[in-house]
Chain A
Amino acid sequence: MLQALNAANSLQRVNDFVVKFANVNGSGSASANQLFAKSVLRMGIPVAPRNIFPSNIQGLPTWYEMRISEAGYLGAREGTDLMVAMNPQTWDQDIASIVPGGYLFYDSTKPRPASQFRDDIVVIGMPLTELCNKEYSDPRQRQLFKNIIYVGALAALLQIDIAELETLIGEQFKGKDKLIAPNIHALHMGRDYALAHLKCPIGLTLRRSDAVGDRISIEGNAAAALGAVYGGATVAAWYPITPSSSLAEAFQKYCARYRVDKVTGENRFAIVQAEDELASIGMVIGAAWNGARAFTATSGPGISLMQEFFGLAYFAEIPAVIFDVQRAGPSTGMPTRTQQCDLLACAYASHGDTKHVMLLPEDPHECFTFGALAFDLADRLQTPIFVMLDLDIGMNERLTRPFTWDDTRQMDRGKVMTAADLEAGREFGRYLDVDGDGITYRTYPGTHPTRGSFFTRGTSKDRHARYTERAEAYEENMQRLLRKFATAATLVPAPEVRAAREPTRLGAIYYGSTSAAMHEADDRLAEQGVHLDLMRVRAFPFSEEVRAFIEAHDKVFVVEQNRDAQLRTLIVNELEINPAKLQRVLHYDGSPITAGMIVEMIEEHASSTVVPIRRSAP
């Protein structure tokens, strides 16, 4: 069934559209959808796939959305250009999400009344179930191959290179070679049917390009785990929680590959799935106290549970690395939806006066580099380091710059006194600031028989780690911790500035996964004559550059994915900036922020002029 819309009104686009698959979770659609995405990538066209999924294993709706963009825009976009509607449960909302002139591909085995369609879209029906039932007798096969069959049909409709798909199937089932031929058969079944019965191609087509370059495609969680391997982490303690579990699992996978002694088969790592998040962070702190590099991976609810330990690590000055893959809160919130909502909970975690270092990666490449860097910073600063991912970059495969590593790089283990130092008579005071940077020397347990031992405690102590409640000693220690935090601001990654094409008094500050949408929004705004200088903040505490940037502009938009403008709060609080200068641009419904939303919100404020107060008629 092909209900043709006037060709002039249907979308005509090459390498620039959004395809969305509506599926039921647990139906095996994920691997078929990934196959489709990867084939586009292999044709050299940038793709940003996103899984939109429920907190459930089987039976509920799930979507796989693919932003195809030759221009390289990897942020999410509103509206669907081609909807592959495979889930009757979500039919109405799926049909409604198609842009005017867009396309609907659906299983036409069971006829649907005309009232269920729209007359401003192109409808492409294919009797997928009927084809499968004819070909396969096993119900599981019918289900799985149906997914491959629609990929085959889409290859014909969108002009995907069939050879790329065949190669990918070969790679996917390497080692299970028996499965290759049946999958390729199903692929061709779909393609042949489409070529014979449907109008191919449609107005949305793919053309080979070289816009991908040498970029790689990986999830942020996996990249962060790889960073932990390269950063020298040996102890990982974690408790399963969406969306961070895959980070710990990826660490396990990479350790099995890179950290098993080839001769003895012994492990140079230890991973504990702890009983809860409290135990996870406790183990991390115990291991780091004892000189190993250790981390945990968690999300908002875990951060809440770990609060008391964060305060201990801050006050007793023990390194720790925490990967927080943020999800929509508060409470259980929306476990499978994205937000940047834990900034304040991490920046000032735990009771009493505390401040913590946060790194804010924008993509998997930075998840890797910051993931490794976090361990150097933790050892150098002897304090918890929070690496703030979110579900959008953590759990979706994202096109990113390839990973690089300098083989001459040494781990920075920070200020650690050795047995030789102690033997040579160097004065040791665990909390004695000999260098003036607020960072003091520590010793690992077991270093020397008679020198360098100390008692680590969460209670107040003097410079030699002896318990004290003396006011001066307490204040001096608290002031030194502030000095250390100021040192941290000089060591963390500096913000990145992208200057406007024309001089402007407007600026925008953003961070993390907002990057992709922000860059696209900036291009669109510039086309409309709204010019912005951009600053991407990459860490907390803020460097002086952040203050200078804000001071150099009349109005600065702070773009973030939470309700309460958490980064803005941190800027106001820490830099004592006039809040009136900082305009909130917020998106927090659980979906990733889009360029369209940013453009709309910034346009509104950028164009607003002061309206004089009108006197009411006398």
Chain B
Amino acid sequence: MTFLPKPKLHHPGLAANTLGFTRRDYEGTISTLCAGCGHDSISAAIVHACFELDLPPHRIAKLSGIGCSSKTPTYFLGNSHGFNSVHGRMPSVLTGANLANRELIYLGVSGDGDSASIGLGQFAHAMRRGVNMVYIVENNGVYGLTKGQFSATSDKGAKSKRGVVNNDEAIDLVSMAMQLGAGFVARSFSGDKGQLVPLIQAALTHQGAAFIDCISPCVAFNNHVGSTKSFDYVREHNEAVNYLDFITEREEITVDYAPGSVEVVKQHDGSLLRLRKIAGDYDVHDRAAAISFLQHRRASGEIVTGLLYVDQEPDDLHGYMNTVSTPFNELVEADLCPGSAALDKLNAALR
């Protein structure tokens, strides 16, 4: 952890994206998390993804709950509005924000305690509603900020740093998100930037609820032998079903792949998801089969990663609610207030 201010000096040759922003413009203040924390890698991946996507930083709203993960929005996208809300309640705050202005991109950052323990209800209902957002859980299986208690995603039988064994069944947020109708579901590992960055880019451009469960080892309290969320354990048991290349509309596909080994998914905004299949029979569009696959692999101790489900015809809460295209926060009196004439008519009907 450091408390030094971040230097403002930029290298003059720093590359800029098409908007003229450098990667620095997507960074935040310096992280105060422990050195080597998986969460910092996720923050870096978010910065990388947004820079490459040419997203105007101020058009992203980043929201979080409470905990180590929820502190991270300070460490990326410094030109975006951020909201560090209350424990486990980021999903409702994000839902409300999304209703108020459908034009911004909503990035919810949460942890396993925040989403699977205290906030499980809100997590579930935000998925059900199809709120247009990217919801990332930085999943380390412990409460870091209160020094290492188990969270609800801790695997049964996992050992804490002090040697206590967890007897409670783990909550699998990925399976839940799929069952609850999320349009985009992925799992990744903070130690695999190559896999994580394109997944974040695909999620950011997905229309509807996009969920990424990102295993992110806690170097202080959950990186020991006996933990199932340590760097070593995750590397050993990581089973990627596919690898994703995110391709914007402008880019062309140039490399040829053997037939059947690649699937291209076209997204709402024109971007393409090129899936290089590893598990040949895994179908990212078959929700029920995906849930079953995950459950079987989980039973044998494997951590399945990659793009696990994507809805080819996604919609979102605004679509379901048939709201106007103008953001609510731009509507004026003439749009909202029926005026005195309507009131006179109403009065007459109430006599």
Contact = CB atoms under 8 A, between A and B. Distances in A.
Contacts of B80: 445, 453
B117 interface: no
B240 interface: no
A448 B56 CA distance: 10
B325 interface: yes
Contact of A446 (B59, B73, B125): B59
Contacts of A455: 73-74, 81-84
Nearest to B20: A449
Chain B interface helix/strand/loop/mixed: helix
Interface residues of B, number: 60
A287 B343 CA distance: 27
Nearest to B77: A453
B57 interface: yes
A290 B100 contact: yes
A234 B17 CA distance: 37
Interface in B98-113: 98-101, 103-104
Contacts of A502: none
A286 B122 contact: no
Contacts of A334: none
B170 to A, nearest CB: 23
A594 B317 CA distance: 48
A364 B332 CA distance: 26
A549 interface: no
Nearest to A38: B351
A453 B56 CA distance: 13
B328 A286 contact: no
B149 interface: no
B62 to A, nearest CB: 9
A589 B279 CA distance: 68
A410 interface: yes
Given A259-B336, A403-B343, A445 B61 contact: yes
B338 A230 contact: yes
A289 B329 CA distance: 10
Contacts of B206: none
A402 B348 CA distance: 9
B339 interface: yes
B268 interface: no
Interface in B323-351: 323-325, 328-329, 331-333, 335-340, 342-343, 346-347, 350-351
A406 interface: yes
A282 B122 contact: yes
Contact of A407 (B56, B86, B325, B340): B340
A226 interface: yes
Contacts of B63: 286
A172 interface: no
Interface in A48-66: none
B33 to A, nearest CB: 14
B95 A446 contact: no
A161 to B, nearest CB: 16
A169 interface: no
Contact of B103 (A286, A308, A443, A446): A446
Interface stretch (A121-129, A186-194, A268-276, A560-568): A268-276
Given A216-B350, A287-B96, A453 B321 contact: no
Interface stretch (A94-102, A141-149, A456-464, A518-526): A456-464
A503 interface: no
B100 A291 contact: yes
A294 B338 contact: no
A265 interface: yes
Given A235-B100, A404-B340, A445-B80, A292 B323 contact: no
A34 to B, nearest CB: 13
Contacts of B323: 266-270
Interface string B103-133: 1100000000000000001101100010000
Contacts of A217: 350-351
A371 to B, nearest CB: 13
Contact of A445 (B84, B97, B332, B350): B97
A93 interface: no
Interface string B29-58: 000000000000000000000000000111
B322 interface: yes
Given A268-B336, A292-B328, A283 B79 contact: no
B81 A446 contact: yes
B78 interface: yes
A479 B326 CA distance: 39
Nearest to B92: A282
Interface in A37-55: 41
B118 to A, nearest CB: 10
A-B complex: 9 closest residue pairs judged by Cβ atoms: A286-B96, A282-B92, A291-B329, A292-B100, A445-B81, A283-B96, A290-B100, A287-B96, A286-B93
Given A259-B336, A403-B346, 19 more contacts: A216-B347, A234-B336, A235-B96, A237-B96, A266-B324, A268-B336, A270-B99, A272-B129, A275-B121, A275-B122, A278-B92, A285-B85, A290-B61, A409-B333, A410-B333, A444-B101, A446-B61, A455-B82, A456-B82
5 contacts: A268-B336, A275-B122, A285-B96, A290-B101, A290-B329
